[in-house]
Structure 1
């Protein structure tokens, strides 16, 4: 169960959200009710969303259409289920740990039915402060001053590292698999070089998240590589922390993550298949005449991939490209019948 929670924490750090909403249930209500929500949203069919729902007792909602006709799978937990899920995910969260703490604090501060009106009003003032702090964290600005929580045991908890929290190697890889399934990308790059018989194919695993990102730093620390910076050119958009590996280094990372991937497992297998095929060697032979200014021209030869091998590389490349296309994840009623 620890590995599942670690994976879901990575998923929530990427595609999840913690939300506190305020509402007056009836027109005559004096004090508002503060509802807590933990949710995950991904492109349909949302295999990871189903794991989230099965683990915490939620239900996958009907898909909603977004831009370019793509559909989203979503699961939301509310009330006590949301607060229970936040407590269970808390030791494994890296990016949204503070948001989880604030949501749990709402559940602790929520007034009981038998409290007097004055006590209810004081509790609502505290909950409103927590709600505003949570909204500020969504915008990328940390709450000013001391953490809203009054529990001294949580002071500094959001700064603990995986080593300090006692993560196992399996839990670490499970968390990183959740990050790749949410904000990561597995692809094959095809590059045509002048003078080469066929295009050059290489595999790539990468991830990008808004700054600051402990998850991207954790990927670089675990598998190598460095954290880059991509400046945003759009107004009101934040800069991205990026991480990327190619070929041999990417293969090592994908093999380590493969047992824990849910959404991108098939893509990972395609990338490993391409690496295996290239490792079989070049079965072709090419010859050309090298002109020499002072002597007679020299006939040269070297190994190359055959047209049959290049056709297999292209087949895998197109298959991965198809998996990235909008039509691949579109929802049809016939698929559920």
Structure 2
């Protein structure tokens, strides 16, 4: 689904990227729906407003700006109605991640996008858990969940999402998130305080296109333990220094930023500068089919931005450090990354 065909990377770099064990920390379940599955589900449920051919879908995914992307996203989730749909989507997404040597993923689930359509939280959680267990058995990949809500829908959407998560969420829920159009974060301080008190990690989107202040608010008001996107922090030296000193992980998704026009071009992307500044930066795919990418594609993109194999291995390690796997699993994954890097002379 790539609207900008890319030059292939050198074969040795390609082999290295494929062999690297990876984690994915910023990927949306619904935004990972492959066109074939979306078309099938839309037909199954006779959903209006979704294109009916792969070609039309490609045009539909050519986003003019961030609000346009959000519109398309909210329309596409209407194809998900019963637990079977969610199980099928989860199994499909997990298989796609496992094929890229992703060993572990913390996956955002647009829970409020389903609640607002009258889909019960139990239906969502039952379906994604069924898909998760099947994928773990078949591929060995481990998945964990981050239910989220769109900030532009207000505090009520946040409270309803958290209530549904605390009532029906399985043990595989690790965190709580906010996405959507980037509105001020102060109104959500209370609900994030409640989520953290219940043992959920605070994993908000911030600084994707809302400026450095959104990142500050996420840290100060939401108790953010990891920042989703965070690229606007690069415009504020003081904030960069704080993220470096506190080693708050920042989950960066370069192709997403290009597709939603958050950055003008690859040469304008702050990823290399963020790494240079010492930030604990991770590499992620966000909404892969919508943006014509996947996690392998993001590693290739990072390489095109000037990062060599040693830095790519560093990004893979950062993902492990920033995730919520148990310490023993982290150590074992880091040892595997080191072995692959050493084998490739990185």
Say whether the fold is shared (TM-score over 0.5): no
Compute the TM-score of the two structures, normalised by the length of structure 2: 0.27
Larger relative contact order (CA 8 Å, sep ≥ 6): 2
The structure richer in strand per residue is 1
The structure richer in helix per residue is 2
* Structure label with greater radius of gyration: 1
Compute the TM-score of the two structures, normalised by the length of structure 1: 0.27
